[in-house]
C-alpha cells in the first residue's frame, strides 16, 4: 500500500529530503513531513557570501536564512545539512544573469537556479543519500498517473510558481513532491503557528537573492562596468532623439528613466546591444503577437499542443490564448490578440486546461520577438 507521498513503503522507512531555504514555506513542509512520521533530512543550500546584505534584505539561501533553517531543523528534531554551492551558483546563475542583461535581455535567475543547483544538483545529492523523494515548499500542484508526475498550477493562483519550474525534467518531476500546492498561503502561516515554528511570521523573500534591495545595476556594475556605456535613443521611425546612460539600465516596456519630452509617454520597445541603442515609442507599440523560443523543455505530449493551448510570458502575467508550433528549428508561439512588453530572456510557459486544472506542458526561453510596429 502506498503512503501519502505515493511511495510503496511505510512512512518511517521512507527517506524524505526537504529543501529548506529558511523561510516559512519550506519550514512548514519539513514540519508536515516530520509529523506524518517520515524519515526527514533538511538540506539548505548556501549560494552566495554577501551575508551582511542578505541578513538585512528579504532574500534566501545565505546569512540569516541558513541560521533559521538550522533552528527549525533542531526544533523539529530532524537531520540538517548545508551544501556549499557558491561556485556553481556564481558560474551558472549569476554569470548567466549578467550575460543576459548585458545583451539587452530580461533574465529570470530564479528559473535557472531551480534548473541547476536546486533541482539538478540537489536532486543528485538526494539520490546519493538514497532518498525516496525530494520535497520543496514551492506552490505547485503535482499529480501522479501510472507513476508519472504531472505538474499543474497551484490552488492559490496568487502564489503559483509553475512559471519558474517549466524546465523541470520528467525524471525530476517523478521524484519531487510539493505539499503546498493544494493550500493557500494564509493556511501555510496558520500551520506554521500551530507547529510553533519561529519563522511563522517571517516575511516572504521578494528580491532576487543576490541582488539586495532590487538594485540590478549594482551587481552588473561590479562585474561588467563597460555595460554602462552611453548610447543613442531612437524613435519608431529610426531618428535619434536622445541619449541613454547604458542599456543595462533599461528593460522592454520600461517608461522610467527615458528623460525625453514627448506629447505622450514613451516606453522602451527594443534594446539593440550590437549598436548599444534603445528604441522607444508609445505604449501601443509594445504589442507582440509572435515570439521565437530556444531551449524547449516538454512535459506534455505533442497531441496536447494541437488546440486550447495557453501561455504565460511573465511571472506575474495572465494565461494567454496561443498556438504553438514545435516543428520549426526555432519553435514559434502565436499569441492571439497579442501582448504588451514581451522581452527576450523571459520564459514562455505552456499550459492546457482540463477537468483538474491548468496543466503545465513545459516551456522555453524567449529568444526573439516580432514587433510589426518597428521600421527596422
Q: Which residue, of 281, 298, 313, is where some domain finishes? A: 281
Query: Does residue 26 fall inside a structural domain?
Result: yes
Residue 325: give the domain boundaries.
286-370
Residue 119 lies in a domain: yes
Q: How far, in Å, CA of 236 to CA of 279, rounded?
A: 7
In a domain, 350, yes or no: yes
| One domain for residues 45 and 153 | yes
Cα separations (Å) of 166 from 20, 69, 176, 277? 21, 26, 14, 32
Confidence of residue 36 (pLDDT cuts 50, 70, 90): very high
CA 219/CA 41 separation, integer angstroms: 34
Q: Indicate the pLDDT class of residue 55, thresholds 50, 70 and 90.
A: very low
Q: Which residues contact 155 (CB under 8 A, 6 or more apart)?
A: 141, 181, 182, 183, 184
113 annotated active-site: yes
DSSP class of residue 7? -
- 60, 110, 209, 348: the active-site residue: 209
Asked whether residue 168 falls in the same domain as residue 210, the answer is: yes
**CATH number of the structural domain spanning residue 258:** 2.30.30.280
CATH number of the CATH domain containing 342 = 2.40.30.10
In a domain, 375, yes or no: no
What values do phi and psi take at 297, rounded to 5?
-125, 125
Q: What's the mean pLDDT when you consider all of the chain? A: 88
Do residue 313 and residue 366 come from a single domain? yes
Whether 192 and 131 map to the same domain: the answer is yes
pLDDT at 207: 63
The answer to whether 272 and 234 have CB atoms below 8 angstroms apart is no
Residue 220, domain member (yes or no): no
Contact by Cβ (8 Å): 135, 17: yes
Q: Does any domain span residue 223? A: no
CA gap 79, 66 in Å, rounded: 14
pTM of the model: 0.90
Taking 70 as the threshold, does the pLDDT of residue 60 lie above it? no
Q: Are residues 235 and 155 in the same domain?
A: no
pLDDT of 53 strictly over 50: no
* Residue 90 per-residue DSSP state: I
What does the pLDDT read at residue 52?
46
Considering only CA atoms, which of 47, 16, 45 is closest in space to residue 31?
A: 16
Gap between the Cα atoms of 56 and 293, Å rounded: 37
Share of the chain above pLDDT 70, in %: 94
Asked, for residue 175, whether it belongs to a domain, the answer is: yes
Distance CA 217, CA 42 (A): 34
* 144 found inside a domain: yes
- Regarding whether 335 and 271 lie in a shared domain, the answer is no
179 and 72 both lie in a single domain: yes
CATH number at residue 159: 3.40.50.620
Q: Under DSSP, is residue 238 helix (H, G, I), strand (E, B) or coil?
A: coil
Residue 128 has pLDDT above 60, yes or no: yes
121 neighbors 43 (Cβ within 8 angstroms): no
Annotation marks residue 110 as catalytic = no
Write out pLDDT tens, residues 302-337: 889 888 999 999 988 899 999 999 887 789 999 999
> In this structure, are 255 and 111 located in the same domain?
no
CA 177/CA 286 separation, integer angstroms: 39
Q: In this predicted model, what pLDDT tens digit does every residue of 336-350 receive, in sequence order?
A: 999 998 999 999 999
Are residues 106 and 167 located together in one domain of the fold?
yes
327 to each of 26, 30, 296, 330, 344, how far by Cα in Å?
39, 43, 12, 8, 21
The 10s digit of each residue's pLDDT in 175-213 is 999 999 999 999 999 999 999 999 988 887 766 777 766
Cβ neighbour number for residue 202 with a 10 Å cutoff: 19
Residue in 60, 110, 113, 348 annotated catalytic: 113
Shared-domain flag, residues 18 and 49: yes
Label the pairing between strands 176-177 and 347-353.
Answer: unpaired
Q: Do 161 and 305 belong to one domain?
A: no
Q: Are residues 16 and 92 located together in one domain of the fold?
A: yes
Measured CA to CA, the distance from residue 262 to residue 283 in angstroms comes to: 13
Total domains, the chain: 3
DSSP secondary structure letters along 250-277 = --TT--TT-----SS--EEEEEETTTTE
Amino acid at each position: 500500500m502506498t503512503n501519502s507521498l505515493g511511495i510503496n513503503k511505510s512512512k518511517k522507512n521512507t527517506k524524505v529530503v526537504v529543501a529548506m531555504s529558511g523561510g516559512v514555506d519550506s519550514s512548514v513542509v519539513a514540519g508536515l513531513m516530520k509529523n506524518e512520521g517520515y524519515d526527514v533530512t533538511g538540506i539548505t543550500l548556501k549560494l552566495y557570501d554577501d551575508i551582511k546584505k542578505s541578513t538585512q534584505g528579504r532574500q534566501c539561501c545565505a546569512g540569516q536564512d541558513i541560521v533559521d533553517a538550522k533552528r527549525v531543523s533542531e526544533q523539529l528534531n530532524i537531520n540538517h545539512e548545508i551544501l556549499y554551492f557558491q561556485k556553481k551558483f556564481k558560474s551558472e546563475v549569476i554569470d548567466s544573469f549578467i550575460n543576459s542583461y548585458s545583451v539587452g535581455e530580461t533574465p529570470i535567475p530564479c528559473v535557472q537556479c531551480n534548473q541547476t543547483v536546486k533541482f539538478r544538483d540537489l536532486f543528485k545529492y538526494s539520490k546519493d543519500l538514497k532518498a525516496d523523494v525530494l520535497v520543496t515548499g514551492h506552490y505547485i500542484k503535482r499529480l501522479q498517473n501510472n507513476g508519472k508526475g504531472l505538474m499543474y498550477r497551484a490552488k492559490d493562483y496568487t502564489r503559483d510558481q509553475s512559471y519558474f519550474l517549466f524546465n523541470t525534467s520528467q525524471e525530476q518531476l517523478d521524484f519531487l513532491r510539493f505539499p503546498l500546492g493544494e493550500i493557500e498561503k494564509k493556511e501555510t502561516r496558520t500551520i506554521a503557528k500551530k507547529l510553533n515554528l519561529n519563522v511563522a511570521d517571517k516575511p516572504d523573500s521578494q528580491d532576487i537573492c543576490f541582488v539586495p534591495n532590487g538594485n540590478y545595476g549594482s551587481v552588473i556594475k561590479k562585474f561588467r562596468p563597460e555595460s554602462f556605456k552611453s548610447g543613442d535613443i531612437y524613435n519608431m521611425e529610426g531618428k535619434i532623439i536622445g541619449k541613454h546612460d547604458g542599456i543595462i539600465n533599461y528593460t522592454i516596456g520600461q517608461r522610467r528613466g527615458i528623460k525625453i519630452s514627448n506629447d505622450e509617454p514613451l516606453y522602451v520597445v527594443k534594446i539593440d546591444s550590437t549598436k548599444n541603442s534603445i528604441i522607444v515609442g508609445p505604449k501601443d507599440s509594445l504589442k507582440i503577437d509572435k515570439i521565437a523560443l530556444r531551449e524547449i523543455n516538454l512535459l506534455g505530449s505533442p497531441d496536447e499542443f494541437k488546440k486550447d493551448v495557453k501561455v504565460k510570458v511573465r511571472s506575474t502575467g495572465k494565461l494567454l490564448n496561443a498556438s504553438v508550433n514545435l516543428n520549426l528549428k526555432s519553435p514559434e508561439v502565436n499569441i492571439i490578440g497579442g501582448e504588451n512588453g514581451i522581452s527576450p530572456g523571459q520564459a514562455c510557459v505552456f499550459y492546457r486546461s482540463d477537468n483538474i486544472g491548468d496543466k503545465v506542458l513545459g516551456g522555453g526561453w524567449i529568444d526573439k520577438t516580432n514587433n510589426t510596429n518597428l521600421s527596422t
